[in-house]
Amino acid sequence: MSEAHLKTGDPLPPFNGRIRLFAMRFCPYAERCILVLNAKKIKYDLVFINLHKKPEWIFRFNPKGAVPILEYEEGKAIFESGIINSYLEEYYPDPPLLASNPLKRAQDRIVCELLSTVQDTYYTVAFNRNTLTTESIEAYHRGLKILQKDLSSRGTTFLVGDKPGLVDYTIWPFLQRFLALPLLGKPELAITEEKYSVLLKYIEALKNDPAVKTYYLSPEIHAMFIESRLKGNPKYNMLVSGQCSL
């Protein structure tokens, strides 16, 4: 796998006979799919896309030109992380990543829905930090406290159980990025041991999960990419060009 992002004018790499995911290295939605692919130990190819200078051929696979996109057969693709992961769960059922109980599956979906306000705060900081309001900060912490309470009530290492499931892989990419927010000049958004000891324990357990570990980037690297995007020159290839260290 190359960390280089393909751009306008670059040719479409040849299809090698196995599924491939079109992604962007710093995209949380694409990461959700990568974690599921990793957890199910599916062999796949990964192609990174420069979203500011998109290759012309990307629109063949998704009319919106957005990632993630899963090419399941040569020239045939599906897109949107939720759709892709539902397909992967059904087509590659082992190991199962969804809870077997219908009520628990519904509760897991509620967790993801409640965290949407927390994600909104992240995007405010990442795209226009000067518009961050007191209400947004309160909503951010309210969402994190709900997640921590849910983790405490379940009494398991992960939301699904002793091993991560789809809900864990769905919320992880944003939890990972939340840790970068204090590095972007927003200490009021820090996830501190004093307030979030249970949540931090969960984050550490996820960070060491094999499916997560192989794709993990530190908060410092995420902060560097966000800063480059805020300056109008997103460094998609920063992991290739040696501008940061892992």
Catalytic residue among 27, 33, 112, 244: 27
The token duo for 121 is 């705060």
Amino acid in the structure at residue 181: L
Cα–Cα dist 245/238, whole Å:
9
Strand pairing class (69-73; 20-23) = antiparallel
**Selection from 125, 130, 245, 107 nearest residue 177 by Cα:** 125
Residue 27 annotated among the catalytic residues of the structure: yes
In which region does residue 19 sit, left (phi positive, over 0), alpha (psi from -120 to 50) or beta (all else)?
beta
The token duo for 227 is 């800063």
The token duo for 198 is 């249970």
**Selection from 175, 177, 180, 171 nearest residue 220 by Cα:** 180
Cα–Cα dist 239/4, whole Å:
8
Q: Number of C-alpha atoms within 13 angstroms, CB side, residue 41?
A: 4
Amino acid in the structure at residue 151: L
Amino acid in the structure at residue 51: L
Q: Would you please indicate which residues are annotated as catalytic (active-site) residues?
A: 27
